[in-house]
Structure 1
Amino acid sequence: MKIIYHCFGGSHSSVLAAALHLDLIDKKKIPGISEMMSIPYFDKTTKADFGSIRLMGVDEYHNEIYVLGKKNLGSRYGKILMGIAEILGVKEDLLTVDCMSRVNWSMKIGGFTSRRMGWSRLGRPVLGKGTEAAFLDLVNLVEITRIKAMKRVQVV
């Protein structure tokens, strides 16, 4: 199965969710900004990355875990991906996860300041505090996603 975590920029909430899914960070300990910065792609997205589906890794059940920045497409992007998967006959092999419901204002302001404005020295501390506050919500989202993925696995 392929699991795509997506958010506005593909640089913060989706990347953190994918890192949690892949056990790159401990879900029982809220990471600081320096630990977050060590995650591949975290706060490193460029304009060229928007719309690109980037592989983060493979989980213990051989699910491929991806991240994606979708800009203003909202929930429509997941519907587009699922529609394409259905046309290709692989709908049961794809799970899209919208991370935006777990994003708070501090993450939005910090992410905008760091990525869009290019002022990472100002944006990252705000982003870090917001991400720390949203961490348990992202852990919850990942756990829900893992359960959904397990339900889709066919046992023969």
Structure 2
Amino acid sequence: MIYIYNDFGGTHSTVMAATYHLKKLPQDREPTRQEILTAHNFNELVYSDRGKLFFHGTDEDGNKVYTMGRGRSKILVPGIYHLLLMLEKEGALNDKIILSNTSPTVPLALTFGGLTSRWLKIDWIGVPLLVKGIKQAYQDIIRLVHHTKDAARRSDERILMLENKQFK
């Protein structure tokens, strides 16, 4: 199975979801500032990285975990979904693939932190907001990852696109 966590930038909530999914972050407490800031690709991606898949590792069940930023595009993820459906129909896919939107977990502090740090390059303001936002969102991110894994296990569909609107 392949999991692809996606959101606007692909460098904050997606990274935390992938890192938690891979059991590199605890479930029983908020991650520390250091754990957040040292997560693979956290706050590192730039505009030209949108649409690229970034591999984060293989989980305990042998499933691959990726992240992706989609930018403002409302068609990128549905386009990928329909491409995957076509490849499945043609017999060109061997894995079940789950596209999971992490955007509904993003609080205002995380949005402003990303804007300030990634777009305006003002890290001394943006990074503390990012850390605060991740801590605010962390339980929702945990629930989203568990929901994503459960949906993948329960579904007979080979390609799943989860909008996760219930996390707003």
TM-score > 0.5, shorter chain as reference:
yes
- 1:132 CA drift (Å): 0.5
- 1:152 CA drift (Å): 4.4
Q: Give percent identity, aligned residues only.
A: 27
- Specify every segment of 5 or more residues in structure 1 that has no aligned partner in the other structure, as ranges: none
Question: How far does the alpha carbon of each residue in 1:10-34 deviate from its partner, in whole angstroms, 9 at most, with x for none?
Answer: 1100000000100111122101222
Of Structure 1 and Structure 2, which has the larger fraction of its residues in helix?
1
Alignment-derived partner of residue 71 in structure 1:
71
Question: How far does the alpha carbon of each residue in 1:107-139 deviate from its partner, in whole angstroms, 9 at most, with x for none?
Answer: 000011111111111101011111101100000
- What TM-score do the two structures reach when normalised by structure 1? 0.91
Q: CA RMSD in A?
A: 1.8
Q: What secondary structure does 1:61 align onto? A: coil
Alpha-carbon distance in 2 for matches of 1:117, 1:27: 32
Change (3 A) 1:91 1:100: farther
Change (3 A) 1:141 1:28: same
- Specify every segment of 5 or more residues in structure 2 that has no aligned partner in the other structure, as ranges: 158-168
Alignment-derived partner of residue 59 in structure 2:
59
Alpha-carbon distance in 1 for matches of 2:3, 2:86: 18
- 1:92 CA drift (Å): 6.6
Alpha-carbon distance in 1 for matches of 2:146, 2:132: 22
Alpha-carbon distance in 1 for matches of 2:94, 2:77: 12
Alpha-carbon distance in 2 for matches of 1:79, 1:36: 29
**Contact 1:78–1:98 (CA under 8 A) maintained in structure 2:** no
- What TM-score do the two structures reach when normalised by structure 2? 0.85
Change (3 A) 1:41 1:77: same
Q: What secondary structure does 1:73 align onto? A: coil
Change (3 A) 1:64 1:92: closer
**Contact 1:85–1:91 (CA under 8 A) maintained in structure 2:** no
- Of 88-97 and 6-15, deviating more is 88-97
- Of 27-36 and 61-70, deviating more is 27-36
List structure 1 segments (4+ residues) > 6 angstroms apart after TM superposition: none
**Contact 1:92–1:152 (CA under 8 A) maintained in structure 2:** no
Q: What secondary structure does 2:111 align onto? A: helix
Alignment-derived partner of residue 18 in structure 2:
18
Alpha-carbon distance in 2 for matches of 1:7, 1:120: 21
Alpha-carbon distance in 2 for matches of 1:32, 1:62: 27
Aligned residue pairs total 153
